Amino acid sequence: MNSDLPRIPSHVAIIMDGNGRWARKRMLNRVKGHERGTETVRTIVRASREVGIPFLTLYAFSTENWSRPRAEVMTLMSLLKRFLNNERAEMMENDIRLNAIGDIGRLPEDVRSTLSKTLEMTADNKGLHLTLSLSYGSRSEIVHMVRQIAEKAASGMLDPQEITEKTVSDHLYTRHMPDPDLLIRTSGEMRISNFLLWQIAYSELFITETLWPDFNRDEYLDILSAYGRRDRRFGKVAETS
């Protein structure tokens, strides 16, 4: 636990962007950017565990990312598989529980089985809940949630008049975690890109110009510290006014 931080967020969500630009700036293939980006994932997971953040969710692969050139998609899948295989031991050592959200069935069979193995092995860990968003799109998650609620209503299991915000939250992939307190996006784009649209209603947003492969522990800690100084009002007035 890091006592220097004024307030630790319960849940940090990150849109990891800029791997391609990082590589282009160095006249390298985009693959190199994704490889360096994977190193940053390691650094940020470690730092999160160290400061005692309970939930970390990373946007690793979106539904839209399937439209990238086949070679790039294959590279991302093999990096993901390698990451899962290489990090399993450290996840066990550091009490990290892996979770995955998204249309997991679309992932290649070998990635799915590596993922299942890691999910099962880490299922009893409690220190940090690390969620990878894989083949994830928030609108598609919302459609999935609406279908489930509609089916329950149609079969008489649920009275439509009793549907609340909690009912909606309880039917999303993220039902077992709190909403993100903090959403970080790297590489300066001012958009949400179909990530956790319902869940980030009151999240604090931090957008940094730094490209994901250059994002590091110090900048992460600075953002966590700045988050602690923000006045979160959830639509109400400040307590002192």
Rg over CA atoms, the chain: 19
E-strand ranges in 52-152 read: 55-62, 96-101, 128-136
- Closer residue to ligand FPP, CB minimum distance, 145 or 208: 208
Binding residue for ligand FPP (CB under 6 A) from 9, 37, 102, 137? 37
* 2 is a catalytic site residue: no
Binding residue for ligand FPP (CB under 6 A) from 55, 83, 136, 195? 83
Per rule CB under 6 A, is residue 100 in the interface with ligand FPP?
Answer: no
Per rule CB under 6 A, is residue 195 in the interface with ligand FPP?
Answer: no
Q: Which of 2, 4, 19, 65 is catalytic?
A: 65
Per rule CB under 6 A, is residue 44 in the interface with ligand FPP?
Answer: no
| Minimum CB distance to ligand FPP, residue 111 (Å) | 11
CA gap 60, 37 in Å, rounded: 10
CA gap 225, 39 in Å, rounded: 23
Per rule CB under 6 A, is residue 220 in the interface with ligand FPP?
Answer: no
CA gap 123, 56 in Å, rounded: 16
| Minimum CB distance to ligand FPP, residue 223 (Å) | 17
Per rule CB under 6 A, is residue 122 in the interface with ligand FPP?
Answer: no
* 17 is a catalytic site residue: yes
The DSSP code sequence of 133-195 is EEEE-HHHHHHHHHHHHHHHHHTTSS-GGG--HHHHHTTSTTTTSPPPSEEEE-SS----TTS
Binding residue for ligand FPP (CB under 6 A) from 14, 45, 51, 60? 60
Per rule CB under 6 A, is residue 41 in the interface with ligand FPP?
Answer: yes
Binding residue for ligand FPP (CB under 6 A) from 12, 13, 16, 224? 16
Nearest by Cα to 12 from 47, 60, 48, 36: 48
Q: Which residues contact 30 (CB under 8 A, 6 or more apart)?
A: 19, 20, 23, 24, 72, 75
Contact residues for ligand FPP (CB under 6 A)? 16-21, 34, 37-38, 41, 58, 60-61, 65, 76, 79-80, 83, 132, 212
Which are the catalytic amino acids?
Answer: 17, 65
